[in-house]
């Protein structure tokens, strides 16, 4: 029996799609028995004729008719599982119906996802401000670790006794207004240069105006805009270069308006190892009194926009030596 290749990736993010295919000698008519675990679903099967697929039992599929002999392709979908890492396998049994010769191929795949673990949460944090460097020093930090695989995207929210307010840093409102004004002005020029992409550009600008939120409406919107942009970028590299260079230029021209920049760059250098990206990392906690208490909530999702249960951090007392802005990312130890 001649099977040229059987392909399936080694890993996949949970609740995401992954491909597979089988290639064989087109002169041989083969039957394929597919055995699939409960954690995996079949989303698409390509190059199969009408009536060529039969479900023999739960998780067992027989395929024996093809539009063009010698190839069959699959798109599988992983379910979201309780464990952050699970190794499953799909069994491909290749059968020659004339000779009854058969051969089994078992392909393993690691289904992974991020998993956040709150390893340490101090009862009290002393904050020392350094006005000259626009930095703060913290006596202790909250230790949050991603013990799963993949990257976790998180948003931090806070509830306090009114002594602390989670907000954008000094200068950020001015940066946002100037950035969006410059982007809209430059994008109008791009719409003249790329009139066929006017709707895509308008959707992109509209997305930039909205605050990040892990809710269904925002996730649906960002998926649609991202998919549309990616499709245009793949088909038109000039358009891709113009969009990215324009956004970068607007960012650089206005970044000096943000005072909380030095520690933000330090945070950016730290996220690779921990595989945690704080979506509102530029936010700061502003204090109206030298001390007070607050609770933090962590909302998280993965790169496939799957939303996970909220993590509640126990109440923390903050004691500052002077009025200051505490960058939200500086409260955490990521690695």
> Could you tell me if 325 and 214 lie in one domain?
no
> Could you tell me if 164 and 177 lie in one domain?
no
Dihedral sign computed on CA atoms, order 173, 179, 185, 188: negative
Domain boundary among 194, 226, 256: 256
Whether 286 shows a pLDDT value over 90: the answer reads no
Confidence category of residue 325, pLDDT binned at 50, 70, 90 = confident
**19-63 pLDDT per residue, tens:** 999 999 888 889 999 999 999 999 999 999 988 999 999 999 999
The separation between the first and the last C-alpha atoms of the chain, rounded to the nearest angstrom, is: 51
240-262 average pLDDT score: 74
Return d(Cα 293, Cα 149) in angstroms, integer.
33
**74-103 pLDDT per residue, tens:** 999 999 998 999 999 999 999 988 888 888
Measured at the alpha carbon of residue 118, what is the angle toward residues 115 and 121, in degrees to the nearest 5?
Answer: 165
Identity of the highest mean pLDDT range in 40-54, 250-264, 307-321: 40-54
> Could you tell me if 209 and 319 lie in one domain?
no
Torsion, Cα of 237, 150, 43, 231 (10° steps):
-10
Domain boundary among 198, 232, 256: 256
Tell how far CA 148 is from the center of its chain. 14
Contact 131, 32 (CB under 8 A): no
Domain that holds residue 236: 173-256
> Could you tell me if 177 and 131 lie in one domain?
no
> Could you tell me if 286 and 311 lie in one domain?
yes
**184-231 pLDDT per residue, tens:** 888 888 889 899 989 999 988 888 877 666 667 777 888 888 888 888
Number of domain units in the chain? 3
Q: Residue 57's domain is classified under what CATH number?
A: 2.60.40.740
> Could you tell me if 90 and 204 lie in one domain?
no
- DSSP class of residue 48? B
> Could you tell me if 252 and 269 lie in one domain?
no
Whether 333 shows a pLDDT value over 60: the answer reads yes
Domain boundary among 228, 256, 284: 256
> Could you tell me if 134 and 87 lie in one domain?
no
> Could you tell me if 36 and 164 lie in one domain?
no
> Could you tell me if 152 and 221 lie in one domain?
no
> Could you tell me if 15 and 96 lie in one domain?
yes
Q: What is the average pLDDT score of the chain?
A: 85
Return d(Cα 300, Cα 312) in angstroms, integer.
12
Whether 279 shows a pLDDT value over 60: the answer reads yes
- With tokens 């969009």, the residue in question is 243
Contact 173, 252 (CB under 8 A): no
pLDDT recorded at residue 261: 54
**96-142 pLDDT per residue, tens:** 888 888 889 999 999 999 999 999 999 999 988 765 555 788 899 99
pLDDT recorded at residue 130: 67
């Amino acid at each position: 029996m001649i099977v040229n290749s059987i392909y399936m990736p080694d890993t996949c993010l949970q609740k995401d799609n992954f491909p597979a295919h089988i290639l064989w000698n087109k002169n041989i008519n083969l039957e394929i028995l597919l055995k699939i675990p409960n954690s995996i679903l079949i989303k698409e099967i390509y190059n199969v004729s009408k009536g060529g697929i039969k479900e023999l039992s739960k998780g067992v599929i027989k395929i024996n008719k093809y539009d063009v002999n010698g190839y069959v392709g699959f798109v599988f979908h992983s379910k979201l599982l309780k464990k952050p890492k699970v190794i499953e396998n799909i069994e491909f049994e290749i059968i020659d119906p004339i000779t009854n010769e058969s051969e089994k191929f078992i392909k393993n795949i690691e289904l992974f996802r991020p998993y956040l673990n709150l390893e340490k949460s101090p009862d009290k944090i002393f904050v020392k401000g350094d006005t000259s460097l626009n930095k703060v020093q913290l006596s202790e930090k909250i230790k949050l670790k991603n013990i799963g695989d993949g990257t976790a995207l998180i948003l931090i929210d806070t509830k306090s006794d009114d002594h602390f307010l989670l907000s954008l840093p000094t200068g950020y409102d001015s940066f946002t207004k100037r950035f969006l004004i410059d982007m809209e002005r430059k994008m109008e020029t791009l719409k003249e240069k790329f009139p066929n992409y006017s709707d895509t550009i308008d959707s992109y600008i509209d997305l930039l105006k909205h605050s990040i939120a892990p809710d269904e409406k925002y996730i649906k919107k960002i998926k649609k805009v991202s998919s549309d942009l990616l499709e245009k970028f793949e088909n038109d590299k000039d358009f891709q270069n113009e969009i990215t260079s324009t956004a970068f230029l607007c960012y650089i021209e206005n970044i000096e308006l943000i005072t909380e920049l030095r520690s933000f760059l330090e945070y950016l250098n730290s996220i690779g190892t921990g595989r945690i990206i704080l979506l509102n990392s530029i936010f700061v906690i502003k204090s109206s009194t030298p001390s007070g208490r607050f609770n933090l909530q962590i909302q998280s999702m993965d790169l496939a926009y799957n939303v996970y249960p909220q993590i509640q951090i126990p109440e923390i007392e903050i004691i500052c030596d002077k009025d200051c802005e505490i960058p939200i990312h500086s409260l955490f130890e990521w690695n």
